[in-house]
Amino acid sequence: MRRKLIRTVGTVACATAIVATIGVGIASASPGKRLGETLVVIQSPPRQQYVDLGDPGPSPGDLLVFASTLANQAGTPIGDLHIACTQNFDQVAVCVGIFNLSRRGKISVDASPVFPNPTVGMVTGGTGEFQKVRGEAHIDPQPDGTTKITFHLLG
């Protein structure tokens, strides 16, 4: 059961997974001029650590932390991702992820996935070019273990 939770959390996150080529569909490189920008990245399968707290097996309060590399669709590394998930009730986890996009800035995403299904996270802010952004992150696990993450940014 624990391995299933780790695999399904990792798959969905591969945060989320993570995610098409960065720069495609970008409206502007300057903060505040981002109306309807779409950004797609691919998250590699993550390094992960499961911390089983309380009752053995998945239970409220358990933690899963992981890290992944991010790439464009051509496979060129473009950054990394760090996520922490806390298991809640009913197979729901509360996850917070920081997407670090090299030379561009960071994007923060909160999500409450029901594993192992695709989910939509909330973009809650960022730094650098992503300062003051909001929007959604569509997190779509792929059969090969990667995750396609499509950001719809406003701000």
Of 58 and 108, the one with more pLDDT? 108
Check whether 83 has a pLDDT greater than 70: yes
pLDDT of 28 strictly over 50: no
Q: What is the DSSP string of 110-149?
A: EE--BTTS-EEEEEEEESGGGTT-EEEEEEEE-TTS-EEE
Name every residue whose Cβ is closer than 8 Å to that of residue 21 and which is 6 or more positions away in sequence: 40, 72, 73, 74
pTM for this structure? 0.78
